[in-house]
C-alpha cells in the first residue's frame, strides 16, 4: 500500500522526491526500509511511526537546503537527535509521508574559548562530549541529565532541558549565547556571536529554544561555560516529610553562600525499587525513612571547605529534628553510588511494571501541599497504583508517577491514564504550576497544552508558527495541532 498524506494524495505522485533528496545530500545518507526502523520508535515506545526516508545531513548548509526542498514539495520534516525524549517529539507520524532528519552527523565542537567562557557545538554533539570538551579546557558545562551519554545538544536546546543543576545554573535556555538555525524556507540564520549583552531588537534565538523543531531546526549553538568544578560535597539525608526538605533547602542555601548545585527529593519507594532492580545500588542509610534528599555543594575553588560546611548544616538540622539521619560521601565512588540511586529511578520503575508519568512543576514552597493533596487523591482513586513522586525539589520540578501495584492487572491500570492525568494536571493548574516542567510537549501533550494554556498565549504561538512555517512542514503535530490547511496542497510538476 502506498503511503498517503493528510490529503490522501499519494507521495509517489512525484517520483522525483527521493531522487531529489539523494542528489541533494549525496550517496549513503538516505535511509529507508529496515535501515530507517530505529528512527521510527520513540524512547518510551509510545509511538511507532513510518516515514518516506531518513536523511543524514553533515552540515548546517545541507539542513537548510533540505528544508528548502521539503518546503517546496510540502513534505513534513521531523528533526531527531538522540531520541531520548519522553513525549514523542522526535518521532514521525503513521502516514509514511514525512522525512526524518537525523542530526547525528552534525557532531563537531567548532570552537572552545576558555577566556570568553564559551563553546560552539553542533546540534548532533552528545551532551557528555560537550561536557568533556569544556573540562579539557578547564571549564564546566553544567547541563547534566541521566541520558547525557546519548542525548544530543540539539534536542537539549529544542526541549529546553533541565536536569539536576537547574537550581544553580538554570535551564538550557539560560546556558545559550547564540544559535544557528535552518529555517523552513531554506535560509540559514547564523547568530553564534558569544555575547553576554545584545539589545539589538527582539531576542530571536529564544523563539527556537523549547520549540521542539516546530519553528526551525537548530544546527549549532554558542553555549555558556563556567569555572571548572574543583571541589564538591554530597550527602544523602533522611527526612520525615517534604516540608522538612523545603526548610532544609533554605538552610543550605544560606549556609553555603548559594554553593548548592543540586537538591533532589527521593521517596522511600524509590529506594526499594532501585535496590531491587538495579545492580550496584544500595540503601545509603541503615534504617528506612519516609523521605530523603540528595544534595550537593560545588565550588571552583579546590580549598573551599564544603565538607565541613555541609556537615555543620546537617548536624544542626539533626539536632533540630529537621533531618533524621544522613550519610556524607567520603569518596568519588560513594558520591557516584548516591547519584546512581537517583538517576536509575526511571529504569527501576520500568523494570517493576507499568507506570503513569507526569512531569510537573509548582512553586517550591507548595510542593509539600501538592504531594499531600495529589497523594490523597491517588490513594482514594487508584487502588492498583503506587505513588512514586521524586525529582528536582530545588527548582520545583516533580516527576509525579504512579507505578502498577504488585498483582495489579497491567491493562486495567494503564486504562486509568486519562482519569489520573486529568486529576493531577487540574491540581497543578490550581497551584499555578506547569504540566510540562522539563520534558516538553511533543505529540503526547498537545491536548494538554490547549487545555491549560491561556487563549491569548496559544494565539501567539499559532501566529509564530504560521509566520515562520507557513506551509506547516516543521515537525507537524508536535506542540501545536496542524492548521487545517497545513501541508494540504502538494505542488504538481
Per-residue pLDDT, averaged over 193-216, amounts to: 95
Which residues are 229's β-sheet partners? none
Distance separating alpha carbons of residues 75 and 70, to the nearest angstrom: 5
Nearby residues of 29 by Cβ (< 8 Å), 6 or more positions away: 55, 56, 57, 58, 105
Three-state DSSP state, 262? strand
pLDDT beyond 80 at 17: yes
CATH architecture of the domain covering 353-448: 2-Layer Sandwich (3.30)
pLDDT in tens, 390-443: 999 999 999 999 999 999 999 999 999 999 999 999 999 999 999 999 999 999
The residue among 409, 317, 397 whose CA lies nearest residue 357 is 397
Q: pLDDT band at 370, cuts 50/70/90?
A: very high
Per-residue pLDDT, averaged over 279-294, amounts to: 97
Does 109-227 match 353-448 in CATH topology? no
pLDDT in tens, 332-341: 999 999 999 9
Per-residue pLDDT, averaged over 461-486, amounts to: 90
Residues comprising the chain, all counted: 493
Grid coordinates given for 464: 509564530
pLDDT: which is higher, 14 or 118? 118
Q: What is the pLDDT at residue 398? A: 97
Q: Is 109-227 a domain of CATH 3.30.465.10?
A: yes
Q: What is the pLDDT at residue 15? A: 60
Three-state DSSP state, 270? helix
Contact 11, 97 (CB under 8 A): yes
pLDDT in tens, 92-111: 999 999 999 999 999 999 99
Nearby residues of 208 by Cβ (< 8 Å), 6 or more positions away: 157, 158, 179, 181, 215, 216, 218
pLDDT beyond 60 at 277: yes
Instruction: Tell me the whole-structure pTM to 2 decimals.
Output: 0.92
Q: Is 231-345 a domain of CATH 3.30.70.2190?
A: yes
Average pLDDT, the chain: 93
Q: pLDDT band at 376, cuts 50/70/90?
A: very high
Domain map (residue ranges) of the chain: 109-227, 231-345, 353-448
Distances (CA, A) of 53 to 18, 27, 146: 8, 14, 30
pLDDT: which is higher, 25 or 118? 118
Per-residue pLDDT, averaged over 203-208, amounts to: 96
Amino acid at each position: 500500500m502506498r503511503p498517503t498524506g493528510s490529503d490522501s494524495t499519494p507521495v509517489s505522485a512525484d517520483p522525483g522526491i527521493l531522487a531529489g533528496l539523494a542528489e541533494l545530500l549525496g550517496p549513503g545518507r538516505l535511509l529507508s526500509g529496515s535501515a530507517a526502523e530505529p528512527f521510527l520508535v520513540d524512547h518510551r515506545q509510545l509511538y511507532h511511526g513510518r516515514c518516506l526516508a531518513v536523511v543524514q545531513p553533515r552540515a548546517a548548509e545541507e539542513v537548510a537546503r533540505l528544508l528548502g526542498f521539503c518546503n517546496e514539495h510540502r513534505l513534513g520534516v521531523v528533526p531527531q537527535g538522540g531520541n531520548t525524549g519522553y513525549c514523542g517529539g522526535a518521532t514521525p507520524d503513521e502516514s509514511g509521508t514525512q522525512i526524518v532528519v537525523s542530526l547525528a552527523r552534525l557532531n563537531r565542537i567548532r570552537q572552545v574559548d576558555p577566556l570568553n567562557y564559551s563553546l560552539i557545538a553542533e546540534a548532533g554533539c552528545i551532551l557528555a562530549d560537550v561536557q568533556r570538551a569544556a573540562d579539557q579546557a578547564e571549564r564546566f558545562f553544567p547541563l547534566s541529565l541521566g541520558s547525557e551519554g546519548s542525548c544530543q545538544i540539539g534536542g537539549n536546546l529544542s526541549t529546553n532541558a533541565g536536569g539536576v543543576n537547574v537550581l544553580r545554573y538554570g535551564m538550557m535556555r539560560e546556558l545559550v549565547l547564540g544559535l544557528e538555525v535552518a529555517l523552513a524556507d531554506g535560509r540559514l540564520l547564523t547568530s553564534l556571536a558569544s555575547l553576554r549583552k545584545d539589545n539589538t531588537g527582539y531576542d530571536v534565538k529564544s523563539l527556537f529554544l523549547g520549540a521542539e523543531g516546530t519553528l526551525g531546526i537548530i544546527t549549532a549553538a554558542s553555549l555558556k561555560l563556567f569555572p571548572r568544578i574543583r571541589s564538591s560535597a554530597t550527602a544523602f539525608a533522611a527526612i520525615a516529610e517534604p516540608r522538612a526538605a523545603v526548610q532544609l533547602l533554605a538552610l543550605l542555601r544560606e549556609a553555603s553562600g548559594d554553593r548548592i548545585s543540586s537538591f533532589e527529593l527521593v521517596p522511600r519507594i524509590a529506594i526499594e525499587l532501585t535496590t531491587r532492580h538495579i545492580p550496584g545500588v544500595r540503601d545509603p542509610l541503615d534504617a528506612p525513612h519516609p523521605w530523603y534528599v540528595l544534595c550537593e555543594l560545588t565550588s571552583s575553588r579546590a580549598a573551599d571547605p564544603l565538607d565541613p560546611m555541609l556537615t555543620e548544616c546537617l548536624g544542626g538540622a539533626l539536632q533540630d529534628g529537621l533531618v533524621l539521619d544522613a550519610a556524607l560521601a567520603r569518596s568519588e565512588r560513594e558520591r557516584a553510588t548516591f547519584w546512581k540511586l537517583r538517576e536509575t529511578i526511571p529504569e527501576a520503575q520500568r523494570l517493576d511494571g507499568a507506570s503513569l508519568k507526569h512531569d510537573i512543576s509548582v512553586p517550591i514552597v507548595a510542593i509539600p501541599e501538592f504531594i499531600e493533596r495529589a497523594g490523597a487523591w491517588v490513594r482514594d482513586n487508584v487502588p492498583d497504583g503506587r505513588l512514586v513522586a521524586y525529582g528536582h525539589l530545588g527548582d520545583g520540578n516533580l516527576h509525579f508517577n504512579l507505578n502498577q501495584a504488585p498483582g495489579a492487572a497491567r491493562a486495567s491500570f494503564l486504562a486509568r491514564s486519562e482519569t489520573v492525568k486529568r486529576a493531577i494536571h487540574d491540581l497543578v493548574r490550581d497551584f499555578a504550576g506547569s504540566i510540562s516542567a522539563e520534558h516538553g510537549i511533543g505529540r503526547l501533550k498537545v491536548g494538554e497544552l490547549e487545555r491549560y494554556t491561556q487563549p491569548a498565549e496559544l494565539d501567539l504561538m499559532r501566529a509564530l508558527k504560521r509566520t515562520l512555517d507557513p506551509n506547516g512542514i516543521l515537525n507537524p503535530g508536535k506542540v501545536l495541532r496542524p492548521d487545517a490547511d497545513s501541508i494540504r496542497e502538494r505542488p504538481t510538476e
